[in-house]
Amino acid sequence: MKKISLLGATGSIGTQTLDIIKEHPDQFELVAMSVGKNIAKAREIAEEFKPLVLSVQEKEDAEKLMSVLTSKTKVYWGEEGIVEAACQHDADIVVNAVLGSVGLYPTLQAIEAGKTIAIANKETLVTAGHIVMDAARKHGVSLLPVDSEHSAIFQALQGERKENIEKLIITASGGSFRDRTREELVGVTVEEALNHPNWSMGAKITIDSASMMNKGLEVIEAHWLFDIEYDKIDVVLHRESIIHSMVQYHDTSVIAQLGTPDMRTAIQYALTYPTRLPRTQAKKLDLVEIGKLHFEKMNYHRFRCLAFAFDAGKVGGSMPTVLNAANEAAVAAFLNGQISFLQIEDLIEKAMQEHELIQLPELDAIRQIDRETRLNVHRFINE
Ligand code: NDP
Ligand code: MG
């Protein structure tokens, strides 16, 4: 029986993690969970799974839940609460499915507590990859990828030697606007941007997919997870999302992982690694039915955010923190109807241009740069 702490239980990845726990009730048990503001759903989950610990974002919500919950769940709130959930002493594995760089601190605390981390929360690795990876090495903790591309690469690396890798090839579906020119992006609506062709995901990552920032964040995520230089990471457009990513070795062999676009398979692999469990409720891949797979070269002028991410990653230091925080702030502003879709790129570019780089920033510096960058983005919007 593996005991799971699930951060971000009410989200898209969170809910699909609960599906996997339900698919294998004899294998997994939910012992702790955290949510943001969706209290109604938090209550439902807590009553169904009866975790020992539940954390919410706001104190008032914690108090409300304490008065209505019938299970023996202890309720916490705020940053301390999420850390309480992340470090719950019974938990064997923490699934980090929180959205954004708020996931950083609880991840570091869970690593210190010696928990295995299944990481979906890519912003944590983008904003402070060097700190997270150092902490994991120091405490002998594994970081298991949940993101489908990284799960694919991780699977393609099993039993292989790092020195034989020629490059990682990350596939990109292209998001909701893949067939539009830059001119055709002027005036696109939030609704259109949220309409992803292949995957059903949370709002922020769906916008990131449309802007191609998601792929940019994934490039940085891959750099940290697999300790690979940026020159050895390629991105190709693959509209079917069947090949989830590949590793090319120096003997020219390419090992890919394929499957239907279903995040639950990647989530389950992180939970069962190094073994596998059958998936009873998933659609199996039928390549004959699909018939054809397509691949196209990425256009870095069309998808500027991907170019920004490579730049930020190569510059290193505090630049990826700025890239991530500016993107989080800009996407939130787009979702709130404050800015246009193309302004997301302009705001990120401006935040990166203004930033005075710090090499090897410590945790406090990262948290401060994250806050300042968000303020800067709001200042640019109001200028
Ligand atoms: P969602 O927006 O669907 O869910 C986010 C979760 O985080 C919710 O439980 C939300 O709580 C919680 N949350 C948000 N803000 C805070 C906060 N300030 N404090 C505490 N909790 C908070 O996101 P997704 O599930 O789509 O994505 C989660 C992560 O996984 C992201 O990093 C994303 O990039 C990554 N990912 C997602 C994929 C997908 O298919 N969705 C695929 C690969 C990676 P509440 O709703 O209660 O407010
Ligand atoms: Mg992905």
Which atom of ligand 1 lies nearest, measured to the CA of 41? 47
Those residues with Cβ within 8 angstroms of residue 134's Cβ, 6 or more apart along the chain or in another chain? none
Model pLDDT for residues 93-107, shown as the tens digit of each residue = 999 999 999 999 999
Distance 75 CA to ligand 2 centre (A): 32
Cβ atoms of residues 361 and 317 within 8 Å:
yes
The answer to whether 29 touches 1, Cβ cutoff 8 Å, is: yes
> Using one digit for the tens of pLDDT, what is the confidence trace for 317-359?
999 999 999 999 999 999 999 999 999 999 999 999 999 999 9
- pLDDT above 90 for 280: no
Bond prior to 274 in cis (omega within 30° of 0): yes
Pocket flag, ligand 1, residue 238 (CB < 6 Å): no
- Two tokens at 98? 């929180």
Instruction: Return the structure tokens found at 277.
Output: 């469990």
| Residue entry with tokens 């609880």 | 106
Exposed / middle / buried, residue 317 (Cβ in 10 Å: 0-12, 13-18, 19+): middle
Residue 122 has pLDDT above 90, yes or no: yes
**CA–CA dist 47, 40 (Å, integer):** 11
Q: Which ligand 1 atom lies nearest to the CA of residue 8?
A: 9
In this structure, the strands spanning 116-119 and 296-297 are unpaired
Question: Which residues make up each annotated binding site for Mn(2+)?
Answer: 147, 149, 218
Cα 183 to ligand 2 centroid, rounded to whole Å:
26
Q: Which CATH architecture has domain 2-141?
A: 3-Layer(aba) Sandwich (3.40)
Plot region of 360 (φ>0 → left; ψ -120 to 50 → alpha; else → beta): left
Token pair for residue 104? 């950083």
Question: What's the whole-model pTM score?
Answer: 0.98
pLDDT surpasses 90 at 197: no
- Sequence-ordered list of residues with C-beta below 8 angstroms from that of 215, at least 6 positions apart, any chain: 170, 172, 209, 235, 303, 306, 309
Amino acid identity at 165: I
| Amino acid (one-letter) located at 340 | S
Is the CB of 205 inside a 6 Å radius of any atom of ligand 1?
Answer: yes
Do 203 and 194 meet the contact criterion of CB atoms below 8 Å apart? yes
Query: Tokens 């997994």 belong to which residue?
Result: 28
* Cα distance between residue 256 and residue 248, in whole Å: 9
Q: What is the mean pLDDT of residues 178-196?
A: 95
Task: Indicate if the pLDDT at residue 281 is higher than 90.
Answer: no
Report residue 202's pLDDT band, with 50, 70 and 90 as the boundaries: very high
Query: Could you tell me the pLDDT band of residue 181, with boundaries at 50, 70 and 90?
Result: very high
Please state the rounded mean pLDDT for residues 17-38.
Answer: 98
Q: Which residues of 282-305 are buried (b: 16+ CB within 10 A; e: fewer)?
A: eeeeeeeeeeeeeeeebeeebbbb
Say which ligand is closest to the CA of 150: 2
222, 230 Cβ separation under 8 angstroms: no
Rounded Cα distance between 21 and 4, Å, is: 9
Q: What is the mean pLDDT of the chain?
A: 97
Cα of 259 vs centre of ligand 2, distance in Å, is 14
By C-alpha distance, which of 184, 207, 194, 233 is closest to 305?
207
Q: Are 53 and 25 in contact (CB under 8 A)?
A: no
pLDDT computed for residue 240 by the predictor: 97
Which atom of ligand 1 is nearest to 202's Cα?
Answer: 26
Site to probe by mutation for ligand 1, drawn from 6, 84, 99, 269 as the one with most ligand atoms within 8 Å of Cβ, is 99
Which residues make up each annotated binding site for 1-deoxy-D-xylulose 5-phosphate?
122, 148-149, 173, 196, 209, 214-215, 218
- Given pLDDT bands bounded at 50, 70 and 90, which one contains residue 71? confident
Tell me the CA–centroid distance for residue 8 and ligand 1, in Å: 6
Q: Are the CB atoms for 248 and 232 separated by under 8 Å?
A: no
Distance CA 309, CA 215 (A): 9
Domain ranges for the chain = 2-141
Express each pLDDT in 231-244 by its tens digit. Answer: 999 999 999 999 99
Q: Does any ligand 1 atom lie closer than 6 A to the CB of residue 18? A: no
What burial letters (b/e) apply to 322-358, b meaning 16+ CB within 10 Å?
bbbbbbbbbbbbbbeeebebebbbebbbbbbeebeee
The answer to whether the beta carbons of residues 33 and 53 sit under 8 Å apart is yes
pLDDT of residue 157: 98
Dist CA 247 CA 176 (whole Å): 26
pLDDT at 70 over 90: no
Average pLDDT over residues 14-27: 98
For residue 175, give both structure tokens.
Answer: 């998001």
Res 175 pLDDT > 90 = yes
